[in-house]
Amino acid sequence: MTCCEGWTSCNGFTLLVLLLLGITLNAIPLIVNLVDEGQFLQNPISCFEWWFPGIIGAGLMVIPATTMSLAARKRACCNNRIGMLLSSLLNVITVIGAVYCMLVSLRALSEGPLICNSQVNSTSSCEFSFNNLSNIHPESFNLQWFFRESCMAPAEVTDPTLSGTRASDGGRYSLNFSSKENKHRTIHFSVFLGLLLVGILELMCGLSQMAIGLLGCLCGVTKRRSRIV
């Protein structure tokens, strides 16, 4: 197996693990919502889980390149110049899916869960527009919704002494499920931070395979070994 085939095979296994991880992460808030509310669309944790960044972007869009790359291990369709070129082209879809996953995750981390931003915790308050993905400014990107004692509006705090005691409590709220707010914040942060990392790793694998695929196409690969009976 040449270095081109070996790298392609390694990329295939890496992408397979990442796409399974992305699908699992995306499914977590959907499953939690189903268990808690008994319905998918009732009081979701976030609008952005319904953009399916892990299921579509980091999942389905990565399958063609993953399948093609894994074929290199069997010295099948990637063991020729056309196969290497095709593996490179298919990773363009992987890169697009990874960028989509990253943009949705960044937007989700900047906005926080629905419980921090809306009195109506339902998909009716969600705006599914691709313009939202480009509306990310570095100065507005922060995680205050996660690190402050409560992300809810001040009017929602019924006991004024409660916020004072919680403020001196440090960041313990973010690591436990003692309330619905803390639960949603922790799940939202963990899921979309994980999806952001998955998208970054898939982007790196996709770009590297595009380069190695072109190299294999230009330089060629080894000939097929004769089949031993």
Q: What is the pLDDT of residue 71?
A: 79
Residue 16 has pLDDT above 90, yes or no: yes
| Per-residue burial over 113-132, b = 16 or more CB atoms within 10 Å of its CB, e = otherwise | bbbbbeeebeeeebeeeeeb
Q: What is the pLDDT of residue 220?
A: 66
The percentage of the chain sitting over the pLDDT mark of 70, rounded to a whole number, equals 68
CA distance 173 to 184: 11
Maximum distance among all Cα pairs of the chain, rounded to whole angstroms? 81
- Taking residues 192-203, report their average pLDDT: 97
